[in-house]
Amino acid sequence: MNAIISASELASALAGENPPLLLDVRWQLSLAKAPGEPPFDGRTAYEAGHIPGAVYVDLDRELASAPGAHGRHPLPDLAEFGAAMRRAGVSSGTPVVVYDGGQGWAAARAWWLLSWTGHPDVRVLDGGLAAWEGPRETSVPTPAEGDFEPAPGARGLLDADGAAALARSGVLLDARAGERYRGEVEPIDPVGGHIPGAVSAPTNDNVGADGRFLAAEELRSRFKALGASEGAEVGVYCGSGVSAAHEVLALAVAGIPAALYVGSWSEWSSDASRPVAVGPDPQ
């Protein structure tokens, strides 16, 4: 099954006999802003207009646990995650489509968590809400309680030691912007640079100007050039396990399974004993 769905395909599915449950996961990385400028509020954006029937999911509160030693967006407590998904109406027998404002990172985080914990039919709206040309609504639905019970392990998961080992034995992709990988700038974490052996593979290069994913064959060519081709053991990390989920999704579109290092650079760089590489060379 394709991991993404186009806006036209979604419109057809919503009119079909077994319409998917829609989850709205609008979120933005909060960096320093001008004094007095409020942070992005995904719920407010959702309430101002969303695809009819969509249920809002809060990435920071429901798709991650509190920031700490394991990074800025550690895995959520599975019991709490399951309860949140059931409140949103998620059931194992109902397809799920997740979307965000268009960047795709937050939707991919929801896709990864649901598929990692065993949901058999979850897809991301390609291009997000920006690609949707149908009606929007402001009313907030009250979904029937779902029956989804998380059973982790359906997708690969890496910890810090596993990521370090994979950088030597397989292909570890760094999904952050190139300047962060090289250590030229670091706006968030304690130190700039990358995990030794990791290959720079910015997430933004997986999509076109319209925010939609490149064709599967283009993605396969891109990842093959980076060493991530069929048969290779592949892992991905980013700053905090959000944009890396988008890269895992791009790899899935290309037909290449990949593991996610959820703690990512925010966990790695918090431990001064872990090695850091800088510059364009992986080592």
Residues involved in catalysis? 238
Q: What is d(CA 209, CA 37) in angstroms, rounded to the nearest whole number?
A: 27
Burial class of residue 175 (count of CB atoms within 10 Å of its CB; 0-12, 13-18, 19+): buried
Q: Do the bridges between strand 259-261 and strand 234-237 make them parallel or antiparallel, or are there none, so unpaired?
A: parallel
Burial letters 218-228, b for 16+ CB under 10 A, else e = ebbebbeebeb
Q: Is the dihedral of CA 236, 237, 240, 244 positive or negative?
A: negative
Burial class of residue 38 (count of CB atoms within 10 Å of its CB; 0-12, 13-18, 19+): exposed
